[in-house]
């Protein structure tokens, strides 16, 4: 397995700049997730790493060695495509054996069979080996295409939204399988997704991309608890973070069009106007709460309930555990967890504590 370094990668498609001076390093044996909305440049990044797309400027390094001149076959990567990309007219066994039968590899027949069997057992598709790929379900197809990646011992696994075409149940099951696989194999994996839950649950580190730029790189914990911009803050976490316009007056924080007043944080220099971010789980309805509002909507999800509380012109979403007795139209009191507030410049950038 290898580490991957991208140095100042820029890639244009005609007029459009897909990747703009992108740099990042993926550690050996790391599960690295590229997260971003459609068109952010996640897939392009992956294709540049694989060599399927050639960057206009910048360098791709594997273990410190430049791969820029190398074709995909020489880079020794395994790629799982979003569209399964199984070879039609071939059985599942032949699909799995395909990368091993390459004339560049020359593996003995017994070894090929052993590896295919192991991969099939890992992904629980042994019973499908004799079947033609056209007769498989979506989940089975994606297992086979993941299998085709793991029969090899590539330097890196590149996965392009492999789970996005699957139904929710399968997605969850495969998510766990993939993480388990990565752990047991100790493989370097770059995983592209637009699904923040996939990113948070699977990644060791996440890079958040938008319009060809990296907005933030960090552990899921860092991304969630200290989002670098309002974009990252709203992209990660469901229900979405509450973002409210706020201002600093007379040493207190005033939330615009609302009765919420908060003491200013210590150690952070706030401008006169800024954006205040509060995660829904940090809005806590309680009888002795400091603030009050009217319940506009409740969404019981079983494990938790999303309560929309109207406070002045603002609607705050609050996440409470279990099914709550709070009902629509009711006046509620709530608290806001002060230690977990997020402050952003009106431009969207996070305001960090001045390092003393």
User: Which residues are at the interface with another protein (CB under 8 A)?
Assistant: 50, 52, 71-73, 77-79, 81, 83, 85, 87-90, 98-99, 102-105, 132, 134, 148
Shortest Cβ distance from residue 92 to another protein (Å)?
A: 12
Contact status, residue 197 vs residue 239, Cβ threshold 8 Å = no
Contact status, residue 62 vs residue 51, Cβ threshold 8 Å = no
Looking at the Cβ atoms of 13 and 299, the one nearer to another protein is 13
Shortest Cβ distance from residue 103 to another protein (Å)?
A: 5
Looking at the Cβ atoms of 81 and 254, the one nearer to another protein is 81
Shortest Cβ distance from residue 209 to another protein (Å)?
A: 21
Neighbours of 53 (CB within 10 A): 16
Looking at the Cβ atoms of 97 and 208, the one nearer to another protein is 97
Looking at the Cβ atoms of 106 and 169, the one nearer to another protein is 106
Give me the half-sphere count of Cα atoms (radius 13 Å) on the Cβ side of residue 276: 32
* Separation of alpha carbons 26 and 79, rounded Å: 16
Q: What are the backbone dihedrals phi and psi of residue 222, each rounded to the nearest 5 degrees, phi first? A: -65, -40
Looking at the Cβ atoms of 52 and 315, the one nearer to another protein is 52
Shortest Cβ distance from residue 139 to another protein (Å)?
A: 19
Full DSSP string of 84-152? --PPTTSBHHHHHHGGGG-TTT---HHHHHHHHHHHHHHTT-GGGTTSBGGGS-HHHHHHHHHHHHHTS
Shortest Cβ distance from residue 95 to another protein (Å)?
A: 10
Looking at the Cβ atoms of 137 and 327, the one nearer to another protein is 137
Residues recorded for the chain:
356
Shortest Cβ distance from residue 24 to another protein (Å)?
A: 21
* Separation of alpha carbons 103 and 113, rounded Å: 16
């Amino acid at each position: 397995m290898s580490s991957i370094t991208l140095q100042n990668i820029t890639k244009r498609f005609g007029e459009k700049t897909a990747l703009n001076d992108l740099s990042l390093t993926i550690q050996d044996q790391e599960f690295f997730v590229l997260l971003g909305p459609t068109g952010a440049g996640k897939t392009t990044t992956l294709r540049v790493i694989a060599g399927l797309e050639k960057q206009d400027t910048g360098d791709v390094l594997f273990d410190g060695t430049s791969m820029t001149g190398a074709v995909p076959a020489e880079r020794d990567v395994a790629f799982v495509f979003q569209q399964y990309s199984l070879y039609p007219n071939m059985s599942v066994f032949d699909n799995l054996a395909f990368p091993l039968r390459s004339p560049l590899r020359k593996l003995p027949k017994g070894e090929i069979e052993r590896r295919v069997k192991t991969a099939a057992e890992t992904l629980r598709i042994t019973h499908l080996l004799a079947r033609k790929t056209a007769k498989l379900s979506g989940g089975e197809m994606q297992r086979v295409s993941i299998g085709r990646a793991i029969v090899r011992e590539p330097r890196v696994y590149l996965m392009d939204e492999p789970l996005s075409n699957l139904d929710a149940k399968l997605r969850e099951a495969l998510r766990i399988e993939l993480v388990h696989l990565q752990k047991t194999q100790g493989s370097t994996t770059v995983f592209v997704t637009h699904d923040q839950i996939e990113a948070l649950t699977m990644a060791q580190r996440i890079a958040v991309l938008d319009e060809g730029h990296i907005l933030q790189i960090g552990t899921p914990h860092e991304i969630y608890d200290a989002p670098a911009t309002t974009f990252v803050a709203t992209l990660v976490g469901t229900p979405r973070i509450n973002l409210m316009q706020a201002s600093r007056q007379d040493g207190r924080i005033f939330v615009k069009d609302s009765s919420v007043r908060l003491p200013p944080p210590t150690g952070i220099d706030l401008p006169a106007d800024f954006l205040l971010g509060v995660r829904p789980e940090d809005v806590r309805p309680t009888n002795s709460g400091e603030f009050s509002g009217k319940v506009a909507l409740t969404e019981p999800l079983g494990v938790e309930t999303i309560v929309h509380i109207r406070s002045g012109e603002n609607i705050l979403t609050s996440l409470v555990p279990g099914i709550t007795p709070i009902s629509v139209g009711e006046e509620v009191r709530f608290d806001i967890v002060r230690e977990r507030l997020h402050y952003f410049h009106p431009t969207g950038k996070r305001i960090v504590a001045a390092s003393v």
